[in-house]
Structure 1
């Protein structure tokens, strides 16, 4: 069968060299909507707070950039691990966590070490858990935990894995904001390294069961973290400690995301829905831990 769970889990960790500079960061930030007008910032392209994402002389790095550093090698590494051979049309991103050990530098060279700590059997699908640990000469930079959902590859008799869900607070959100996903958003975002044709090719999208191409889950992930940093953390990316989510539904380019935030000490819980489809869920079980 395409997935040999025992082989994938027992395989030796794989190392990959990563490198990035300000152009990669600026492209990523533009891909998640930096500089685009929002209800709070109608002239965002020249707003000083937005220039921290887009202008090289003022640049800081949103921690979710870790998911695409080096051209998105973390996800690619998971799909090329020993014992794993899957059809891209059957692949969806199930969940993502980024844990930050230090503020991400604007320019860097680092080593990524990847392993598959688990493969879960969901009967009608398999979930591949990939861990990528990244360090440079000064020590650890970040750890990414990625869950890759592969339709049609379950039923091999493995563990089902965790299924706990995080309930939303029983009160109104402290903040709510909306973000428009432009029609060309996926085309721009994929230049950061996720070349899956599901996000660009209408015919491929139909093979995968969608009427048209869908937005990358990690693009929604980045859009959401930026909204939390900008509205809750005063634009200070260095305050983010970790960021986790479960991808609960798809987004189509042209839709608007509604981002609800519940603040607590050192923690913001988030819910993201698509306003155009009666608040259909997009991101769930979502938490930003911060200082």
Structure 2
């Protein structure tokens, strides 16, 4: 079996050095749609090195996005990239992400869940620099066709969409070349660029990276609900509920203090496909 849960969970944590500078941050921000309009002072916070602030979702690509790739090459894990989807993601910020960094990443497979027709690999990552912890993240990696091994199904956390009118709502247009730009931050899965590979995976054309949608939505929340202050984000959790195709429009709806104070519940849908779900069970915790 390509996935050996016992071996994967028992493996020693992997460590790696992560380094980044303003160019990596700027490229990431451009990859999630920053810089429109190019001279807007609110956008220059994401694109101009002299004014740069770092979205916490940058943690998913810092150092070339090595954490997620490590989860797919861990001992006991041997899977086909065409069968892999990103199921969910959480980033917890312990403090503001610096514009330039030199840090150590420690990653391990925390769990392997049996969903019947698929397996879900849960990858836990902690990052610290000389001043202490920077961020922690947890990724759920969905692998089609690898379930049925008799393991635990794992918890399911579902949030009901509030019946009230959203506190805030905004649309974000995804560029036709957004996936091509985003993949330069380190996710080279051909699913997001190669039409033939995408067809083999069951899609009629390449799809946007789930983590690109993740970044686009966090930026929308920060810009509209948190006064553009990236440092207010404490954690950001989502479940990837559907795909996005480059060229589509994301509609981001926000409910303040749902399910509690200091929390914003969020949904993201694809406007052109009758509001097909994109991100669900999504919460931004903030100061």
Q: Give the TM-score range, shorter chain.
A: over 0.9
**Which of the residues 122, 125, 150 maps onto 1:132?**
125
Q: 2:176 is matched with which residue?
A: 183
Q: Deviations over 1:2-49 (max 9, x none)?
A: 00000000111110110000000000000000012xxxxxxx210111
Asked if 1:164 is matched to 2:157, the reply is yes
Question: Could you say what secondary structure the match of 1:182 adopts?
Answer: coil
1:74 CA displacement: 1.0
Q: 2:18 is matched with which residue?
A: 18
Task: Tell me the number of residue pairs that the alignment of Structure 1 and Structure 2 aligns.
Answer: 284
Asked if 1:29 is matched to 2:29, the reply is yes
Tell me the distance in 2 between the aligned counterparts of 1:176 and 1:138.
38
**Which of the residues 251, 271, 274 maps onto 1:275?**
271
Backbone CA RMSD of aligned residues: 0.5
Q: 2:248 is matched with which residue?
A: 255
Question: Could you say what secondary structure the match of 1:226 adopts?
Answer: helix
Matches within 5 A, 1:71-86: 71-86=64-79
Question: Could you say what secondary structure the match of 2:235 adopts?
Answer: strand
Q: Deviations over 1:145-176 (max 9, x none)?
A: 00000000001110011123111122010111
1:276 CA displacement: 0.5
**Which of the residues 105, 111, 133 maps onto 2:98?**
105
Tell me the distance in 1 between the aligned counterparts of 2:75 and 2:159.
33
Q: 1:95 is matched with which residue?
A: 88
Tell me the distance in 1 between the aligned counterparts of 2:214 and 2:14.
26
Tell me the distance in 2 between the aligned counterparts of 1:164 and 1:107.
35
Instruction: Please give the TM-score of this superposition, normalised by the length of structure 2.
Output: 0.98
**Which of the residues 238, 244, 252 maps onto 1:245?**
238
Instruction: Give the gaps of 5 or more residues in structure 2.
Output: none
Question: Could you say what secondary structure the match of 1:288 adopts?
Answer: strand
Q: 1:148 is matched with which residue?
A: 141
2:157 touches 2:281 (CA, 8 Å); kept in 1?
no
Question: Could you say what secondary structure the match of 2:38 adopts?
Answer: helix
Shift >3 Å, 4+ stretches: none
2:57 touches 2:218 (CA, 8 Å); kept in 1?
yes
Q: Which moved more, 1:263-272 or 1:207-216?
A: 263-272
Tell me the distance in 2 between the aligned counterparts of 1:45 and 1:73.
30
Q: Deviations over 1:167-223 (max 9, x none)?
A: 112201011100011110000000000000000000000000000000000000000
